C-alpha cells in the first residue's frame, strides 16, 4: 500500500513538473526572437560591398526569385532614398518577412540580417531592431486576435496603439500615419452618417475640411489617386439626406458633392448623364416590381396570359436584359430587392 502511494506521488510530481515546463516553454521566447537577440547582442556591422547590377525586369518578378545580393541591390533602389523614414523601413521589412520564413524556415532571421547588411551596412543594426519590433508586434496581434474581436472600436484602438508605442516609441506615429489619417476621416464619416438628415452643405464642408487638414500638402495628390473612393464614402454617409430629395434636387446635390471633391466640368457632365440613366433604370425596376407583385399575389399564381403580359412588360422596360432578368427570377434572385445607394448605383 505504502509502495503504491509512493509511486502515485512520483507520478503526480512528474506530471506537475512536466505541466509547469510546458507552460514555461510556451510563455518563453521562440527561436526567431532568440535569433534577433543574438544578432543584436553581437552588434555585428557590415562593410560596404559592390553588389550586382540592378536586374532590368525586377519589378515583374517576386523579390525572392533573386539571390541575396540581388535582393539587397533591389532594396537599395526601392527604398534607399527614404531609408531614414520609419514607414519606409517597415514597408521594406514587411516585404522581406513575407517570404523569407517560407524559404528559410529555420534561419530566416539571419538571412534577413545578411540582406539588410548588404543593402544598408551603416544602418543594419537599426533595421534589425526595427525588424525585431515588427516581429514582436505581429506576434502580439496573432496572440490577441480573438480578444481584439470582442472589443469596441475605441478599446481595440487603444490596445493596439499602446503596444505600438511600447515597441516603436514615437516612430509609431510615422509608421502608421496614414492609418491615423484614415481613422480620423472614418470617424468624421461615421458622425455624418449618424447625424439627422438635413444641412447637407455643412456636412460636405466638414468632410472636405477634414480631408485638407489631415493631408495638407499631400491633399492634391491624394485626390488625384483616391477621389472616386473618397467621394463615394461621403455619398454613402449621406444617404438619409439624398433619399428625401426629389430626383432634380438629388441630381443637383450629387453634382455639388462631386464638384467640391474636385471633379472638372466634363466629368460632372458625364456623372449627370449617368444619374439620369440610373434613375430611369430604378423607375423601370419599380414599375416592373409593382406589376409582378400584383400578378403573382393572386390566388393560384399567374395564368399563362398574365405571364405573357409580364414578359411583354419586361422586354419593354429592359430590352436585351429581359431574358437575363427572367433567368435570374427563375433562380430566385430579384434585382428589385437590392437596396439603392444614391450616387453609387
Three-state helix/strand/coil letters over 237-287: HCHHHHHCCCHHHHHHHHHHHHHHCCCCHHHHHHHHHHHHHHHHHHHHHHH
C-alpha cell at 223: 485626390
The model carries a pTM of 0.77
DSSP state of 332: T
User: What is the rounded CA–CA span in Å between residue 125 and residue 89?
Assistant: 12
**Mean pLDDT within 194-220:** 96
Using 50, 70 and 90 to split pLDDT, how confident is the model at 1? low
Model confidence pLDDT, tens digit, residues 258-302: 999 999 999 999 999 999 999 999 999 999 988 888 888 877 778
Model confidence pLDDT, tens digit, residues 51-93: 999 998 898 899 889 999 999 999 999 999 999 999 999 999 9
Quick one: what percent of the chain has pLDDT higher than 70?
92
User: What is the rounded CA–CA span in Å between residue 201 and residue 218?
Assistant: 24
Q: Identify which of 266, 247, 264, 263 has the alpha carbon closest to the alpha carbon of residue 343.
A: 247
pLDDT for 9: 54
Quick one: what percent of the chain has pLDDT higher than 90?
73
**Mean pLDDT within 90-116:** 96
Q: Identify which of 120, 50, 55 has the alpha carbon closest to the alpha carbon of residue 89.
A: 120
* CB atoms closer than 10 angstroms to residue 114: 17
**Mean pLDDT within 134-157:** 90
Using 50, 70 and 90 to split pLDDT, how confident is the model at 18? very low
**Mean pLDDT within 150-179:** 94
**Mean pLDDT within 158-185:** 96
* CB atoms closer than 10 angstroms to residue 71: 26
Sole residue written with cell 419599380: 286
C-alpha cell at 298: 393572386
* Residues 201, 204, 205, 208, Cα dihedral to 10°: -160
User: What is the rounded CA–CA span in Å between residue 186 and residue 181?
Assistant: 9
Does the structure show a pLDDT above 60 at 19? no
User: What is the rounded CA–CA span in Å between residue 117 and residue 126?
Assistant: 11
* CB atoms closer than 10 angstroms to residue 297: 9
* CB atoms closer than 10 angstroms to residue 261: 19
**Mean pLDDT within 157-170:** 96
- Could you tell me if 40 and 132 are in contact, meaning their C-beta atoms sit under 8 angstroms apart? yes
Amino acid at each position: 500500500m505504502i509502495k503504491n502511494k509512493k509511486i502515485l506521488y512520483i507520478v503526480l510530481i512528474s506530471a506537475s513538473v512536466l505541466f509547469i515546463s510546458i507552460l514555461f516553454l510556451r510563455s518563453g521566447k521562440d527561436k526567431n526572437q532568440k535569433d534577433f537577440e543574438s544578432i543584436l547582442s553581437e552588434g555585428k556591422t557590415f562593410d560596404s560591398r559592390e553588389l550586382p547590377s540592378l536586374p532590368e525586369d525586377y519589378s515583374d518578378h517576386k523579390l525572392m526569385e533573386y539571390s541575396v545580393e540581388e535582393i539587397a541591390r533591389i532594396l537599395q533602389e526601392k527604398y534607399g532614398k527614404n531609408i531614414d523614414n520609419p514607414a519606409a523601413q517597415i514597408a521594406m521589412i514587411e516585404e522581406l518577412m513575407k517570404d523569407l520564413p517560407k524559404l528559410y524556415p529555420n534561419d530566416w532571421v539571419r538571412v534577413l540580417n545578411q540582406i539588410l547588411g548588404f543593402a544598408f551596412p551603416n544602418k543594419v543594426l537599426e533595421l534589425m531592431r526595427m525588424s525585431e519590433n515588427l516581429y514582436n508586434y505581429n506576434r502580439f496581434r496573432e496572440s490577441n486576435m480573438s480578444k481584439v474581436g470582442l472589443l469596441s472600436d475605441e478599446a481595440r484602438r487603444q490596445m493596439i496603439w499602446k503596444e505600438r508605442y511600447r515597441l516603436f516609441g514615437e516612430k509609431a506615429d510615422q509608421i502608421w500615419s496614414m492609418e491615423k489619417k484614415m481613422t480620423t476621416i472614418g470617424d468624421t464619416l461615421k458622425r455624418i452618417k449618424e447625424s439627422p438628415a438635413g444641412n447637407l452643405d455643412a456636412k460636405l464642408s466638414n468632410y472636405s475640411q477634414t480631408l485638407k487638414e489631415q493631408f495638407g500638402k499631400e491633399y492634391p495628390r491624394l485626390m488625384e489617386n483616391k477621389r472616386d473612393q473618397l467621394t463615394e464614402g461621403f455619398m454613402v454617409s449621406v444617404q438619409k439626406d439624398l433619399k428625401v430629395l426629389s430626383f432634380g434636387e438629388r441630381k443637383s446635390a450629387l453634382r455639388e458633392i462631386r464638384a467640391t471633391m474636385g471633379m472638372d466640368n466634363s466629368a460632372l457632365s458625364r456623372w449627370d448623364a449617368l444619374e439620369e440613366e440610373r434613375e430611369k433604370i430604378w423607375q423601370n425596376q419599380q414599375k416592373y416590381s409593382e406589376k409582378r407583385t400584383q400578378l403573382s399575389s393572386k390566388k393560384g399564381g399567374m395564368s399563362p396570359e398574365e405571364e405573357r403580359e409580364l414578359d411583354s412588360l419586361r422586354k419593354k422596360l429592359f430590352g436585351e436584359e429581359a431574358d437575363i432578368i427572367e433567368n435570374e427570377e427563375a433562380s430566385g434572385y430579384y434585382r428589385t430587392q437590392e437596396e439603392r445607394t444614391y450616387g453609387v448605383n
